[in-house]
Structure 1
């Protein structure tokens, strides 16, 4: 994290007067104060993190802020999905109010997707909106959840059912911090990288077949390229469809199945979001084959890429099971756009040729899931 670090990649999310930059590269945390200072109206920054990330990186962030003439006010929530709750959201808002935070203050998310989602929703609600900055510390957050403004907490009925669209003002994706990420978390984030290739970038899929191991090993050029391509893909889609009324739904490839898997698992740590999405993408592609939309060879090639990274593509081998077809179908009913026994799915006609199927027959999907379980 030296002063001579190479210039970061920059990706613009074009949303008119709410446009913002995603900066990607090694060593950005050490310069966070310089990047945040133009956003600050008072010489202080509020930071929300969790216990694990705070122990690793809150000190470095505080030093960077202090060097820029800013003070840090920090709150750490508990690690894990249980913090994405209505109760924790209330605790965060109480903290901000007690600290005297206002609309002209900056609230920073220092952590993974859970912290980012929670922080963004809190920022959207705090006096009807305060400045919000993402400093994602997991691979999954850097390539997906920190970009695009979808913020939420979970409900007993399902994942991300209480939320809002609220864009950050800046995203700082420091690839150096990924070195402390457990291997399992890296694989979970890698699933979201594969997603962008499967949506509409077959050339990126080819690149991942050759360079995926280098990405997972965090080789600097490979990880920076993978994160930049992923963020560029998401930025382009978000700029076109901020509130998911059309093409943005493509970003849900694997997520309808994945969210159902997480709900059936009770959102426990035995199944990570990226692991569920990896399996969900494989299921979506095999369901596409079953419906005669794509050939089995392409689906097998995608599964092979996921399996090579250590992800699981079959229900019976997925951690945290079993995952009964009825439980998965019941969870899929909670989809925010589902109705009358039908559910939207992202399917594919080939690698990099995903499309939106707005009204898949849930009973047919249940039959498919039963077949998947029987086949093992």
Structure 2
């Protein structure tokens, strides 16, 4: 048995493990005790992951024996659609599954989201596990049970909460990632340090370059700290009725940027979150919630890592009025009031409702570019 770290996501009525280490996919039968009891093992992946991690895919196939079945979807954010959700459900139902089937997500956040939602819908619920293969999915989307597809009106507007039976984070899967995908994962890592742990920000200042180069020991430690922070928050508020909303820091602006660009490869989710965090910090200062110190540290850190954080870096041009339109389709909007997670300081997030739209419009006029 290979060496690994184990965390538990402790919810009110249920808990599940997160395993973190190297080359853990071959250990799946030991990590999932009832693996052999499942009637079918259905691996859901995408074309890019299948090509890059074919040996990992074949390991699961060998261990599943005659119970194995797989579905390969296109890669990219546009896969999170009604069309692909229906295709996936029908493809699996054609295999005459029962409620003792297991779905395995082998992929990034997109595949994790659509797999989790499919597992919740099929036969009113079958088990699934996450084997996230991107840094972003390993530190964020695979943990916490959020599942969704996108709508023409915005990101993740159609979905449910559905917790996996386990999350298996095997860091060798990161070696095939392009630099932009690693940066996307770093966005969520940086977010945790800003909303929860100033000492973790200090760690990132010292080790950011090692993380981006995927140094094994450093990346495992970073993933573990990130998952621990998120697990603790999710454990207190599974359905996002309170404290869990702080995990949306940078996401209201970020999702609006993704929506405006049509969920295209012009900007990845994590890249949009970095831009969103920059705007959230600027808005925090604009409203008098924080001084410029935290903004300066944020910018200096990203400049040192050569990570862009402004719209102009991506050649995205959007008017404040159009940007506001996309913000208004965010899930966190209630009674037509725009809600943002902002910062007073490191580890001091605050939910702020902008009651006067003119305030936000004036802010965007001055700070959008």
**TM-score relative to the length of structure 2:** 0.96
Aligned residues: 369
Question: What is the aligned counterpart of 1:203 among 170, 193, 199?
Answer: 199
Question: What is the aligned counterpart of 1:287 among 272, 283, 290?
Answer: 283
**Are the counterparts in 2 of residues 14 and 239 from structure 1 also a CA contact under 8 Å?**
yes
Deviations 1:89-129 (A, max 9, x none): 00000011101122211001110000000000000001111
Structure 2 counterparts to residues 173-192 of structure 1, below 5 A: 173-192=169-188
- Is 1:8 matched with 2:1? no
Name the residue aligned to 1:122: 118
Question: What is the aligned counterpart of 1:30 among 23, 26, 32?
Answer: 26
The alpha-carbon deviation at position 221 of structure 1 amounts to 1.2
Name the residue aligned to 2:266: 270
- Is 1:261 matched with 2:250? no
Q: 1:42 to 1:350 in 2, by over 3 A?
A: closer
**d(CA) in 1 for partners of 2:30 and 2:221?**
24
Question: What is the aligned counterpart of 2:342 among 324, 347, 356?
Answer: 347
Q: Secondary structure, in 3 states, of the residue corresponding to 1:349?
A: strand
Q: Secondary structure, in 3 states, of the residue corresponding to 2:19?
A: strand
Name the residue aligned to 2:51: 55
- Is 1:369 matched with 2:367? no
Structure 2 counterparts to residues 35-184 of structure 1, below 5 A: 35-36=31-32, 38-42=34-38, 44-67=40-63, 71-184=67-180
Q: 1:113 to 1:20 in 2, by over 3 A?
A: same
Deviations 1:199-251 (A, max 9, x none): 01000001100011111111111100110011001100000000000000000
Q: Secondary structure, in 3 states, of the residue corresponding to 1:9?
A: strand
**Are the counterparts in 2 of residues 237 and 248 from structure 1 also a CA contact under 8 Å?**
yes
Structure 2 counterparts to residues 225-244 of structure 1, below 5 A: 225-244=221-240
Which range moved further: 349-358 or 276-285? 349-358
Q: Secondary structure, in 3 states, of the residue corresponding to 1:205?
A: helix
**Are the counterparts in 2 of residues 278 and 306 from structure 1 also a CA contact under 8 Å?**
no
Deviations 1:257-297 (A, max 9, x none): 00000011111111100000001001101111111111102
Which range moved further: 234-243 or 362-371? 362-371
Q: Secondary structure, in 3 states, of the residue corresponding to 2:147?
A: strand
Q: Secondary structure, in 3 states, of the residue corresponding to 1:335?
A: coil
- Is 1:247 matched with 2:251? no
Q: Which runs of 5+ in 1 are unaligned?
A: none
Q: 1:110 to 1:362 in 2, by over 3 A?
A: farther
**Are the counterparts in 2 of residues 315 and 372 from structure 1 also a CA contact under 8 Å?**
no
**d(CA) in 1 for partners of 2:203 and 2:79?**
36
Question: What is the aligned counterpart of 2:318 among 315, 323, 332?
Answer: 323
Q: Which runs of 5+ in 2 are unaligned?
A: none
Q: Secondary structure, in 3 states, of the residue corresponding to 1:245?
A: coil
Q: 1:345 to 1:369 in 2, by over 3 A?
A: same
The alpha-carbon deviation at position 82 of structure 1 amounts to 1.2
**Aligned-residue CA RMSD (Å):** 1.7
**d(CA) in 2 for partners of 1:324 and 1:254?**
19
The alpha-carbon deviation at position 322 of structure 1 amounts to 1.2
